[in-house]
Structure 1
Amino acid sequence: MHTLRKMRGFTLIELLVTMVLLALILSSAAPVMQISAKRNKEQELKRDLWQLRDAIDAYKKAVDDGLIKKTPGQSGYPPNLRILVQGVENPRDPKKAKIYFLRSIPRDPFANDPELSAEASWGKRSYASSFEEPAEGDDVYDVYSLSNDKGLDQRPYREW
Protein backbone atom coordinates (compact mmCIF):
# COMPACT_ATOMS: atom_id res chain seq x y z
CA MET A 1 0.00 0.00 0.00
CA HIS A 2 1.11 3.34 -0.93
CA THR A 3 0.87 6.06 1.61
CA LEU A 4 1.04 9.55 0.39
CA ARG A 5 3.29 11.74 2.33
CA LYS A 6 2.24 15.31 2.48
CA MET A 7 4.90 17.69 1.19
CA ARG A 8 5.92 20.31 3.67
CA GLY A 9 6.80 23.86 2.64
CA PHE A 10 5.26 27.09 1.42
CA THR A 11 3.08 27.52 -1.60
CA LEU A 12 3.81 30.14 -4.19
CA ILE A 13 0.82 32.20 -3.04
CA GLU A 14 2.01 32.19 0.58
CA LEU A 15 5.43 33.43 -0.53
CA LEU A 16 3.90 36.18 -2.67
CA VAL A 17 1.64 37.36 0.17
CA THR A 18 4.65 37.46 2.50
CA MET A 19 6.70 39.46 -0.01
CA VAL A 20 3.86 41.96 -0.51
CA LEU A 21 3.51 42.45 3.25
CA LEU A 22 7.26 42.99 3.63
CA ALA A 23 7.23 45.51 0.77
CA LEU A 24 4.38 47.43 2.44
CA ILE A 25 6.16 47.52 5.76
CA LEU A 26 9.42 48.72 4.21
CA SER A 27 7.73 51.36 2.05
CA SER A 28 5.95 52.79 5.09
CA ALA A 29 9.20 52.87 7.09
CA ALA A 30 11.18 54.79 4.42
CA PRO A 31 9.54 58.21 5.03
CA VAL A 32 10.05 57.81 8.78
CA MET A 33 13.73 57.10 8.18
CA GLN A 34 14.04 60.16 5.91
CA ILE A 35 12.42 62.42 8.51
CA SER A 36 14.68 61.00 11.20
CA ALA A 37 17.79 61.65 9.07
CA LYS A 38 16.63 65.22 8.35
CA ARG A 39 15.92 65.83 12.04
CA ASN A 40 19.46 64.67 12.90
CA LYS A 41 20.96 67.06 10.33
CA GLU A 42 18.80 69.88 11.71
CA GLN A 43 20.07 69.20 15.23
CA GLU A 44 23.63 69.27 13.89
CA LEU A 45 22.91 72.59 12.14
CA LYS A 46 21.54 74.11 15.35
CA ARG A 47 24.56 72.90 17.32
CA ASP A 48 27.02 74.21 14.71
CA LEU A 49 25.31 77.61 14.48
CA TRP A 50 25.30 77.90 18.28
CA GLN A 51 29.00 76.97 18.43
CA LEU A 52 30.02 79.48 15.74
CA ARG A 53 27.89 82.28 17.14
CA ASP A 54 29.18 81.63 20.64
CA ALA A 55 32.79 81.83 19.36
CA ILE A 56 32.03 85.09 17.50
CA ASP A 57 30.51 86.56 20.67
CA ALA A 58 33.49 85.42 22.76
CA TYR A 59 35.85 87.13 20.29
CA LYS A 60 33.83 90.35 20.53
CA LYS A 61 33.88 90.15 24.33
CA ALA A 62 37.66 89.67 24.28
CA VAL A 63 37.96 92.82 22.14
CA ASP A 64 35.67 94.75 24.49
CA ASP A 65 37.72 93.54 27.49
CA GLY A 66 40.94 94.76 25.83
CA LEU A 67 42.41 91.28 25.28
CA ILE A 68 42.51 91.86 21.52
CA LYS A 69 43.72 95.11 20.00
CA LYS A 70 41.13 97.05 18.08
CA THR A 71 41.78 99.96 15.77
CA PRO A 72 39.32 102.85 15.55
CA GLY A 73 36.61 102.15 13.02
CA GLN A 74 36.64 98.38 13.56
CA SER A 75 33.51 96.74 14.90
CA GLY A 76 35.35 94.36 17.20
CA TYR A 77 34.02 91.27 15.46
CA PRO A 78 36.45 88.76 13.88
CA PRO A 79 37.62 89.53 10.34
CA ASN A 80 36.98 85.90 9.31
CA LEU A 81 36.13 82.51 10.82
CA ARG A 82 39.70 81.16 10.49
CA ILE A 83 40.97 83.55 13.16
CA LEU A 84 38.68 81.87 15.68
CA VAL A 85 40.63 78.64 15.15
CA GLN A 86 44.09 80.16 14.60
CA GLY A 87 43.79 82.30 17.70
CA VAL A 88 45.04 85.79 18.52
CA GLU A 89 47.83 86.92 20.79
CA ASN A 90 46.88 88.14 24.23
CA PRO A 91 48.75 91.44 24.82
CA ARG A 92 48.22 91.13 28.59
CA ASP A 93 50.02 87.79 28.78
CA PRO A 94 53.83 88.20 29.17
CA LYS A 95 54.35 84.96 27.23
CA LYS A 96 52.12 86.25 24.42
CA ALA A 97 50.00 83.14 24.58
CA LYS A 98 47.19 82.91 22.08
CA ILE A 99 43.49 82.99 22.83
CA TYR A 100 41.53 80.37 20.88
CA PHE A 101 37.77 80.43 20.33
CA LEU A 102 37.15 77.27 18.27
CA ARG A 103 38.95 73.96 17.78
CA SER A 104 37.76 73.70 14.19
CA ILE A 105 35.20 75.29 11.94
CA PRO A 106 32.21 72.97 11.61
CA ARG A 107 30.87 72.32 8.13
CA ASP A 108 27.27 73.24 7.31
CA PRO A 109 25.47 69.87 7.31
CA PHE A 110 23.20 71.08 4.50
CA ALA A 111 26.01 72.32 2.23
CA ASN A 112 25.48 70.76 -1.17
CA ASP A 113 28.95 71.23 -2.62
CA PRO A 114 31.47 68.78 -1.10
CA GLU A 115 34.32 70.79 -2.67
CA LEU A 116 33.67 73.78 -0.38
CA SER A 117 35.84 74.25 2.67
CA ALA A 118 34.15 74.28 6.06
CA GLU A 119 34.46 78.07 6.24
CA ALA A 120 33.09 78.57 2.71
CA SER A 121 30.08 76.35 3.46
CA TRP A 122 28.60 79.12 5.65
CA GLY A 123 27.08 82.42 4.67
CA LYS A 124 28.63 85.30 6.60
CA ARG A 125 27.01 88.58 7.53
CA SER A 126 29.05 91.62 8.45
CA TYR A 127 28.15 94.05 11.20
CA ALA A 128 27.35 96.71 8.58
CA SER A 129 24.81 94.59 6.66
CA SER A 130 21.14 94.06 7.47
CA PHE A 131 19.43 90.83 8.52
CA GLU A 132 17.09 90.97 5.51
CA GLU A 133 19.97 91.29 3.04
CA PRO A 134 23.04 89.72 4.64
CA ALA A 135 26.33 90.52 2.96
CA GLU A 136 29.96 89.81 3.70
CA GLY A 137 32.19 92.66 4.69
CA ASP A 138 35.21 93.53 6.82
CA ASP A 139 34.09 91.33 9.71
CA VAL A 140 31.89 88.37 10.62
CA TYR A 141 28.94 89.41 12.78
CA ASP A 142 26.80 86.35 12.13
CA VAL A 143 26.71 83.10 10.14
CA TYR A 144 23.84 81.33 8.41
CA SER A 145 23.25 78.28 6.25
CA LEU A 146 23.49 78.75 2.49
CA SER A 147 20.92 76.01 1.92
CA ASN A 148 17.70 76.92 0.11
CA ASP A 149 15.84 74.04 1.78
CA LYS A 150 13.21 74.39 4.48
CA GLY A 151 13.24 72.69 7.84
CA LEU A 152 10.63 70.39 9.29
CA ASP A 153 9.05 73.51 10.82
CA GLN A 154 8.85 75.04 7.29
CA ARG A 155 11.33 77.83 8.12
CA PRO A 156 14.18 78.20 5.62
CA TYR A 157 17.54 77.12 7.03
CA ARG A 158 18.94 80.52 6.04
CA GLU A 159 16.78 82.10 8.76
CA TRP A 160 17.90 79.83 11.61
Structure 2
Amino acid sequence: MRQISHRIQPWQRERGFTLIELLVVLSIVALLLSISVPKYFHSLDYSKEVILKENLRVVRKTIDQYYSDTGHYPDDLDELVSKKYLRALPVDPITSSAATWILIAPEDIKLGKLFDLHSGAQGATRDGVGFGQL
Protein backbone atom coordinates (compact mmCIF):
# COMPACT_ATOMS: atom_id res chain seq x y z
CA MET A 1 0.00 0.00 0.00
CA ARG A 2 1.07 3.40 -0.77
CA GLN A 3 0.96 6.06 1.95
CA ILE A 4 -0.50 9.45 1.22
CA SER A 5 1.58 12.33 2.40
CA HIS A 6 -0.29 14.92 4.47
CA ARG A 7 2.35 17.52 4.00
CA ILE A 8 0.82 20.88 3.04
CA GLN A 9 2.35 22.49 0.03
CA PRO A 10 3.00 26.29 0.10
CA TRP A 11 0.34 26.90 -2.51
CA GLN A 12 -2.21 24.94 -0.44
CA ARG A 13 -1.75 27.03 2.72
CA GLU A 14 -4.86 28.89 3.95
CA ARG A 15 -4.74 32.56 3.15
CA GLY A 16 -5.65 35.19 5.71
CA PHE A 17 -4.45 38.27 7.53
CA THR A 18 -2.18 38.24 10.52
CA LEU A 19 -2.94 40.29 13.61
CA ILE A 20 -0.09 42.68 12.79
CA GLU A 21 -1.48 43.33 9.32
CA LEU A 22 -4.92 44.08 10.73
CA LEU A 23 -3.47 46.44 13.33
CA VAL A 24 -1.50 48.33 10.69
CA VAL A 25 -4.60 48.75 8.52
CA LEU A 26 -6.71 49.89 11.49
CA SER A 27 -4.08 52.40 12.55
CA ILE A 28 -3.96 53.85 9.02
CA VAL A 29 -7.76 54.14 8.95
CA ALA A 30 -7.74 55.81 12.37
CA LEU A 31 -5.09 58.28 11.21
CA LEU A 32 -7.09 59.19 8.11
CA LEU A 33 -10.26 59.64 10.16
CA SER A 34 -8.49 61.86 12.69
CA ILE A 35 -7.49 64.14 9.81
CA SER A 36 -10.78 64.20 7.89
CA VAL A 37 -13.48 64.27 10.62
CA PRO A 38 -12.59 67.72 12.05
CA LYS A 39 -12.56 69.17 8.54
CA TYR A 40 -15.95 67.62 7.88
CA PHE A 41 -17.53 69.18 10.98
CA HIS A 42 -15.87 72.51 10.21
CA SER A 43 -17.43 72.46 6.73
CA LEU A 44 -20.85 71.66 8.22
CA ASP A 45 -20.64 74.72 10.51
CA TYR A 46 -19.49 76.88 7.64
CA SER A 47 -22.34 75.73 5.40
CA LYS A 48 -24.90 76.50 8.12
CA GLU A 49 -23.54 80.04 8.38
CA VAL A 50 -23.76 80.51 4.61
CA ILE A 51 -27.33 79.20 4.54
CA LEU A 52 -28.32 81.49 7.42
CA LYS A 53 -26.90 84.54 5.65
CA GLU A 54 -28.66 83.59 2.42
CA ASN A 55 -32.00 82.99 4.18
CA LEU A 56 -31.75 86.38 5.86
CA ARG A 57 -30.89 88.07 2.55
CA VAL A 58 -33.82 86.45 0.72
CA VAL A 59 -36.37 87.21 3.45
CA ARG A 60 -35.22 90.81 3.80
CA LYS A 61 -35.47 91.27 0.04
CA THR A 62 -38.95 89.71 0.11
CA ILE A 63 -40.05 92.07 2.90
CA ASP A 64 -38.87 95.00 0.80
CA GLN A 65 -40.77 93.68 -2.23
CA TYR A 66 -43.90 93.27 -0.12
CA TYR A 67 -43.55 96.87 1.11
CA SER A 68 -43.08 98.11 -2.46
CA ASP A 69 -46.21 96.27 -3.61
CA THR A 70 -48.53 97.08 -0.68
CA GLY A 71 -47.18 100.24 0.95
CA HIS A 72 -46.90 98.58 4.37
CA TYR A 73 -44.84 95.85 5.99
CA PRO A 74 -46.26 92.37 6.67
CA ASP A 75 -47.50 91.46 10.13
CA ASP A 76 -45.50 88.22 10.26
CA LEU A 77 -43.68 85.67 8.12
CA ASP A 78 -46.86 83.66 7.61
CA GLU A 79 -48.35 86.60 5.71
CA LEU A 80 -45.47 86.44 3.23
CA VAL A 81 -46.21 82.75 2.71
CA SER A 82 -49.98 83.17 2.41
CA LYS A 83 -49.58 85.97 -0.17
CA LYS A 84 -47.14 83.77 -2.15
CA TYR A 85 -44.07 85.95 -1.62
CA LEU A 86 -42.38 82.91 -0.05
CA ARG A 87 -43.09 79.24 -0.71
CA ALA A 88 -42.53 78.24 2.90
CA LEU A 89 -41.30 79.68 6.15
CA PRO A 90 -37.51 79.87 6.10
CA VAL A 91 -35.71 77.63 8.56
CA ASP A 92 -32.91 78.95 10.73
CA PRO A 93 -30.19 76.37 9.98
CA ILE A 94 -28.43 76.96 13.29
CA THR A 95 -31.49 76.14 15.40
CA SER A 96 -33.15 73.92 12.76
CA SER A 97 -36.43 75.69 13.39
CA ALA A 98 -38.63 78.25 11.67
CA ALA A 99 -39.96 79.47 15.03
CA THR A 100 -36.76 81.01 16.41
CA TRP A 101 -36.60 84.09 14.21
CA ILE A 102 -36.54 87.40 16.05
CA LEU A 103 -38.92 89.79 14.28
CA ILE A 104 -38.08 93.50 14.25
CA ALA A 105 -40.93 96.02 13.87
CA PRO A 106 -40.53 99.30 11.97
CA GLU A 107 -40.23 102.54 13.91
CA ASP A 108 -43.69 103.58 12.72
CA ILE A 109 -46.06 100.83 13.93
CA LYS A 110 -48.74 102.01 11.47
CA LEU A 111 -46.62 100.61 8.62
CA GLY A 112 -46.80 97.01 9.86
CA LYS A 113 -45.09 94.67 12.29
CA LEU A 114 -42.25 93.03 10.34
CA PHE A 115 -39.50 95.34 9.15
CA ASP A 116 -36.51 93.03 9.65
CA LEU A 117 -35.57 89.73 11.26
CA HIS A 118 -32.57 88.17 12.97
CA SER A 119 -31.59 84.68 14.00
CA GLY A 120 -32.54 83.61 17.49
CA ALA A 121 -29.58 81.23 17.71
CA GLN A 122 -27.04 81.50 20.51
CA GLY A 123 -23.37 81.78 19.69
CA ALA A 124 -21.36 83.45 16.99
CA THR A 125 -20.03 82.88 13.51
CA ARG A 126 -16.43 81.90 12.82
CA ASP A 127 -15.72 85.63 12.42
CA GLY A 128 -16.95 86.36 15.96
CA VAL A 129 -20.19 88.08 14.89
CA GLY A 130 -23.21 86.93 16.90
CA PHE A 131 -25.86 85.04 14.94
CA GLY A 132 -28.45 87.53 16.18
CA GLN A 133 -26.45 90.43 14.73
CA LEU A 134 -26.38 89.18 11.14
Q: Report matched runs for 1:87-126 at 5 Å.
A: 87=83, 100-111=84-95, 118=98, 120-126=99-105
Partner residue of 2:118? 144
Q: 1:63: how far off?
A: 3.1
Q: TM-score, normalised to structure 2's length?
A: 0.78
Q: Which blocks of at least 5 consecutive residues in structure 2 are unaligned?
A: none
Please report how far the alpha carbon of residue 3 of structure 1 lies from its aligned counterpart in structure 2 after TM superposition. Answer: 7.4
1:44 to 37, 43, 51: 51
Structure with the greater alpha carbon radius of gyration? 2
The one-letter code sitting in structure 1 at the alignment partner of 2:38 is: P
1:34 shift after superposition: 0.4
User: How many residue pairs align between the two structures?
Assistant: 124
Structure 1 segments unaligned to the other structure (5+ residues): 65-75, 88-99, 130-137
CA shift in 2, pair 1:146/1:3, >3 Å: closer
Distance 1:35 1:108 in 2: 18
Match of 2:77?
81
Task: Name 2:61's counterpart in structure 1.
Answer: 54
Q: Tell me by how many angstroms 1:4 deviates.
A: 6.0
Q: Which has the higher helix share?
A: 2
Shift of 1:142: 0.6
Following the alignment from structure 1 to structure 2, what is the Cα–Cα distance between the partners of residues 30 and 106? 29
TM-score, normalising length from structure 1? 0.67
> Take 2:8 and 2:67, find their aligned partners in 1: how far apart are those partners?
92
Identity in percent = 33
RMSD: 2.4
